[in-house]
Amino acid sequence: RKEVEQDPGPFNVPEGATVAFNCTYSNSASQSFFWYRQDCRKEPKLLMSVYSSGNEDGRFTAQLNRASQYISLLIRDSKLSDSATYLCAVPTGGFKTIFGAGTRLFVKA
Amino acid sequence: DVKVTQSSRYLVKRTGEKVFLECVQDMDHENMFWYRQDPGLGLRLIYFSYDVKMKEKGDIPEGYSVSREKKERFSLILESASTNQTSMYLCASGTRTGTDTQYFGPGTRLTVL
C-alpha cells in the first residue's frame, strides 16, 4: 500500500457543481495534512492545511477522518479557474513530506 | 511574499554531461528539498537538507548529489546525466518543524538527450 494515495481522476464537472476528492494515508501517527493545488506546468501551491477535524476557506472544505485514515477536499460551486491538479501531502513527523500523485480536475463551462 | 527561485525553467543536456540545478530561497528556511515529478508518479524526494552542509537521502537519490554551502542555496547535481533523468525538478523550502507547508520554486524541466 502506498503511503499516500489519491484517485488520479480526471474528474470532469460542470461549472457550479460540487466535487470531492479523497486521499488515504497509511501512517496513523500523522498529525498534519495539506492540500496543494498545481496548475499545468506550474509549481504546487498550498491550498489548505488540516490539523484537526477540518478546515474551511470559502468554497473549499477539507475534512479529516482519523479512524479511516483519509482526508477529503470538497469544492462547492466549481469555477473554470478551479481546473488543476490537487495534491494531498502528509508530513512523516521527521523532515519529510509524502505527496500523493494528485487528482486532476476539469471544470467545464 | 515568499520566494523560491530556480536557475533555469528549461534545460536540455546530453547523456553523460554534468548538470547543476540551483535553488535559492529568501525566507530564511532551515529545510530545503529537491523533488522530481513524473506523470503518474507524483512528487518523489531526491534529497533534502535541514541545515547548512547537512544533507539526507530521500527516496530516489541514485545518480544525484547535492550541496548546501549557504542557508539560502541548495544545489542538485547530476554527475553524469542519463535519459531516465529527464523530468521536472522542483525545489522547495520549509521551516524546521517539518510539519509546516513547503514552498516550491517554479521548476526546471530537464531533457536529457
Nearest to residue A59, comparing CAs of A1, A104, A20, A106? A20
The Cα of B60 is separated from the nearest Cα of chain A by a number of Å equal to 13
User: Taking 90 as the threshold, does the pLDDT of residue B14 lie above it?
Assistant: yes
- What is the average pLDDT across B58-73? 96
User: Taking 80 as the threshold, does the pLDDT of residue B80 lie above it?
Assistant: yes
DSSP code of B84?
G
Helices (H), A4-84: none
Please judge whether B43 and A46 are an interchain contact, meaning their C-beta atoms are less than 8 angstroms apart: no
User: Taking 90 as the threshold, does the pLDDT of residue B82 lie above it?
Assistant: yes
Residue B16, sorted as left (phi over 0), alpha (psi -120 to 50) or beta, turns out to be: left
Give the Cα separation of A44 and B102 in Å (integer): 9
Give the Cα separation of B97 and B99 in Å (integer): 5
Write out chain A's pLDDT in tens, 109 residues: 788 999 888 999 999 999 999 999 998 888 889 999 999 989 999 999 988 878 999 999 999 999 999 999 999 999 999 999 999 999 887 778 899 999 999 999 9
Cell of B46: 531526491
Please judge whether A93 and B98 are an interchain contact, meaning their C-beta atoms are less than 8 angstroms apart: yes
Q: Burial, B23: exposed, middle or buried (Cβ in 10 Å; 0-12, 13-18, 19+)?
A: buried
Give the Cα separation of A34 and A10 in Å (integer): 20
* Predicted pLDDT of residue B98: 54
C-alpha distances in angstroms, A33 versus A38, B71, B101?
16, 26, 9
Structure confidence at residue B39 as a pLDDT band (50, 70, 90): confident
Q: Which chain B residue's Cα is nearest to A33?
A: B99
Cell of B21: 540545478
Percent of chain B with pLDDT over 90: 85
Q: Give me the residue from A31, A49, A95 closest to B101, CB to CB.
A: A49
For residue B89, the cross-strand partners are B36, B108
Give the Cα separation of A65 and A72 in Å (integer): 8
DSSP code of A83?
-
Of B89 and A9, which is predicted with more confidence?
B89
Q: Which chain A residue's Cα is nearest to B97?
A: A95
The Cα of B108 is separated from the nearest Cα of chain A by a number of Å equal to 10
Q: Quick check: A10 and A102 in contact, CB under 8 A? A: no
Please judge whether B40 and A87 are an interchain contact, meaning their C-beta atoms are less than 8 angstroms apart: no
The Cα of B111 is separated from the nearest Cα of chain A by a number of Å equal to 15
